[in-house]
Structure 1
């Protein structure tokens, strides 16, 4: 009776997944609750999914991926890939898939996708390609790469152990490479074709245009890049040890200082090396400080000559990866646009008398009025109703200004924008942590889950993520709940005997049609069962069955066990079958049927290719 209830719950859950009318995590947790209520699994088994190493590793990988994105490392790497691939969608797709396959040969497919997901999202945005067209192929390619080496995926190690216990030579590290290459070539071709045909722009959850423009777009709209200069303080400058209020620079030179950037001690490389300070009346500058100023070029030169400052070239940067417009914002200081409503007390006030700097501690960089942009002599301009002011200041002060509903209206959400400012100076640290994590996973000194958790902790401790709150926000909890709740379903299928009944029935019914038919039966039976249970559990279940069936027919068991490993690993037809599929589901805004439309034909056709290829590599 338990077997019947388990299959009924599985069918209903699958139907709800397909319909897409109920959230996938809600369906999964409801199915788990029913299994527990009906006594099919006990409490410990029901909660085992959420303590499973794969789920814990997924959480850690989300944090690592978030840090890669937050530090701008994703943008740097995606820029390199973009230079390599150009903006052609097909070449981009192939570049992403081959990169994922290569990494997936040495690192778990879950780790591969988590590392590459933020890179691919950034790549898609830069190339103006819908990210949904790249993320599903990314997940599939990571599984294809896992077939290239012994450590690429757990089923490979399962069949090696099965052969060794049966008295055969254990498989070597590259024993899987010939079959893996066939998988990779055939799979890449099939995935490219089907994803281009079936993932249409109008059928996917599109990347919606944001109501709030990016900082880059905002600065570019006001042409600030053409008006922004950087000056370095020399040891002979008369500005040293004086406050900006004492210097009266704006009144005397018509030049406005917006921020000061100062190198800090390099004693501890794990903490930021450049400090950004908002330029207020009491700000003092030190030797080698870099000040960011706006004004006409001739005014900048006069100011620079009098105060013995060095005008930095446009390509001279404090650190790699900065951009002239991006210099206007950092994790501490940003820019925003505010609107002046008709009842504002600031109407008809001169900018220099408006009190924006004194009361709100922000500078006015520009004014947009009836489609025109005012950037010079702002202190003598009168503020008018309907004006849009571009301001700069510390993010906390901009957020405070957002509460002033009566006099100004801040466009967008400053707090959200501030949390997304790349911590570019931390990119080398994030890269080092990521590389060390991958190396540790390859050499297998400690379990992969330990490598990931340590890497996630280091990302927070070293400041690659600003704080723990930011780390929690990087986790896609819908995917975590989906996988954690579906793992006990596989336990129920095995526990009630449903898995054994289905697998043995399929193999026994086709064994009489010859070795090739048996090979096809084992492959597709494994491929079918991996839709519902984990690939590792599927390999453990089918390996002894395949071994026994091959020996009973007096044929080599090697191709049959390879069929088990490949069939268990290459599951593309459902989002919850493998962690990589679940990882990209929310980011790509995929529905259940997107996986069926693209993944099912790829899975079936790849199976046909492998059934033909396996006897050619390993004679029956």
Structure 2
């Protein structure tokens, strides 16, 4: 065990390095890494057990939990989806007119709710826009995700890491950041990002149109094309002209291609649609949906008592109210990663049928037994209430595409205005001087009391893994300070940049924060770097505000890596992006943000 102060600081530096390696490997969950850090600091004797677990009692934990509830309220009442629909209406098929509101809208929404949730909500909106206009989705998805990433530069609650910066300032100066303290900087960066994509960035992301052409057109693409992408030739509706029960029903099942659903008229004539399961019988007049090759469907429809009706897609409107089909992607943070469809008992768990699974562009041959990975795309079918449920959690799956005939439902759309009133009231009282923590708690309570979200939904929206990550990383910053590690970093920064050059120190802090954010999470990076920035400023005898704002901006500038944040990781699959795509757009954008902020920050916040 380290005994002297210098040895303790070295031990903490090694621990930070190991933490960075573990996070960069993506082999271990971030929350488990944070707990490992916490336990290591306690066992090493660097922190007392009470100090090691003190992060769980920090106000930032309560505030972030409340923000999850507010974000869920905005999702369930349709605030985010309403914004998306307005974008589609106003864009009128022009790429730039669509890209700008997508980028700005994601940034503004992400400034008051989870930016990861915003991207998850916007992906199906962008895919629908791409389908309706024929525009290459890759040229819209990246600007949208970068806009959501920039939301952390707009408000104090834009990302949990901002609260860590505010706490560091409060501890050192007694003056925390206000709700909009740095918004002018973020708006300038957002404007620069929009201009970059409008004139340069979008041209680096492939041809304008999805078909490879450079001329806009109205796309006639139907949802049937999604089946062809998954290697499914046909989906047909067939009618059963005679009853099949018992062994006869089993014989039909053996001879049939894949049966997806059965529709049967009830006693009052109302149709009832159910997912097909082995053992179902068939009555005269039942309609069934099957998928398979031309040869399989032709052979099956030629059997006695089975008559072809029409393509499912030609009859989709008559099924759409009870039977839906979606393509969903496994979320980068999904808890189901590493488990197969069989292990998950997918049908029982979600009430849905998996038709096919794509990994990259190739279907999985053993899709039922192959462990799922982040980015896998599943074609699923079932009742819309079940499909809505798989989307509303936002934890395991992200919707990639849905039928154009059916707009995504919003559970509590009738309470949209109540949600907006709660949101604006939260912001107003925060600006008026009320503690942001108390304002967020009041907003979360109001969301439940007004029925915009249920108590169970409120608790379910709180992501414990994020809270554990923050609580586990806070003691690491405390350990740096206690062992003198913060002072060592500050002295090295000053010796390299020069104590007479605050702008050079700011540059070094910006670069260090940005580089760490490509490896560590945004929150973990800001928790570590914020105290260093504040102490460096105090050591130089200058205001800590510009240094703190610089690292805050840098923490939301992870453009050049597709794994820097779930916000950008989510669009890798739907946009078919490569690492090079992020380098082509991310590096010049990063340099632009760096130059802009280092020039503007001292003008707004003098040293």
TM-score bin, normalised by smaller chain: 0.5 to 0.7
- Residues 427-466 of structure 1: pairs in structure 2 closer than 5 A: 427-444=413-430, 446-460=434-448, 462-465=450-453
Q: TM-score normalised to the size of structure 2?
A: 0.56
1:11 Cα deviation from its structure 2 partner: 0.9
Aligned in 2, Cα 1:471/1:176: closer, same or farther, shift over 3 Å?
Answer: closer
Instruction: Between 4-13 and 153-162, report the one with greater CA deviation.
Output: 153-162
Q: Deviations over 1:81-119 (max 9, x none)?
A: 222335666654432333355567xxxx46363774454
TM-score, normalised by the number of residues in structure 1: 0.55
- Trace 1:176-255 onto structure 2 (pairs within 5 A): 182-189=188-195
> Is contact 2:77–2:415 with CA below 8 Å preserved after alignment?
no
Relative to structure 1, is the Cα distance of residues 393 and 119 closer, same or farther in structure 2, using a 3 angstrom cutoff?
A: closer
Describe the shift of the 1:34–1:64 C-alpha distance in structure 2 as closer, same or farther (beyond 3 A): same
1:488: which partner in 2? 475
CA distance in 1, matches of 2:27, 2:444: 34
1:614, CA displacement in angstroms? 5.2
1:52-106 Cα shifts (integer Å, max 9, x gaps): 44344434433443444344443332111222335666654432333355567xx
Which residue is 2:115 aligned to?
113
Number of aligned residues: 450
Report what 2:374 is aligned to.
none
- 2:490 maps to 503
Tell me what 2:150 maps to: 141
State the shift of 1:193 in Å.
Answer: 8.9
Q: Which residue of 2 aligns with 1:519?
A: 503
**CA RMSD in angstroms, aligned pairs only:** 5.8
- Structure-1 residue corresponding to 2:39: 33
Evaluate the alpha carbon distance shift between residue 198 and residue 174 of structure 1 in structure 2; reply closer, same or farther with a 3 A threshold.
same
SS in 1 for 2:276: strand
Contact 1:366–1:391, Cα closer than 8 Å, also in 2: no
Q: Which has the larger radius of gyration?
A: 1
The separation in 2 between residues aligned to 1:494 and 1:599, in whole angstroms, is 33
Aligned to 2:52: 46
Aligned-residue offset at 1:385: 10
- Structure 1 position 521, deviation (Å): 1.7
Give unmatched runs, 5+ long, in structure 1.
202-208, 214-220, 224-277, 284-291, 295-333, 352-363, 373-381, 404-410, 552-556
| Mapping of residues 41-440 of structure 1, within 5 Å | 41-85=47-91, 91-101=97-107, 109=111, 111=113, 113=115, 116-117=118-119, 119-128=121-130, 129=137, 133=142, 136-146=145-155, 182-189=188-195, 335-338=273-276, 345-346=281-282, 349-351=283-285, 384=306, 412=381, 416-417=386-387, 419=389, 424=410, 426-440=412-426
The residue aligned with 2:537 is 546
Distance 1:173 1:451, change over 3 A: closer
Work out the CA distance in 1 between the residues paired with 2:199 and 2:471: 32
**Is 1:2 equivalent to 2:11 in the alignment?**
no
Structure 2: gaps of 5 or more residues:
1-6, 131-136, 208-222, 228-234, 238-263, 295-303, 313-318, 325-346, 353-379, 393-407
SS at match of 2:45: coil
Counterpart contact for 1:507–1:521, Cα < 8 Å: yes
Structure 1 CA distance for aligned equivalents of residues 452 and 273 of structure 2: 22
| Bigger Cα displacement from structure 2, 120-129 vs 156-165 | 156-165
Residue aligning to 1:567:
551
Deviations 1:419-465 (A, max 9, x none): 35876472131442244134323321643344444444554555545
- Cα distance in 1 between the residues matched to 2:568 and 2:83: 23
Asked if structure 2 preserves the Cα contact closer than 8 Å seen for 1:572 and 1:581, the reply is no
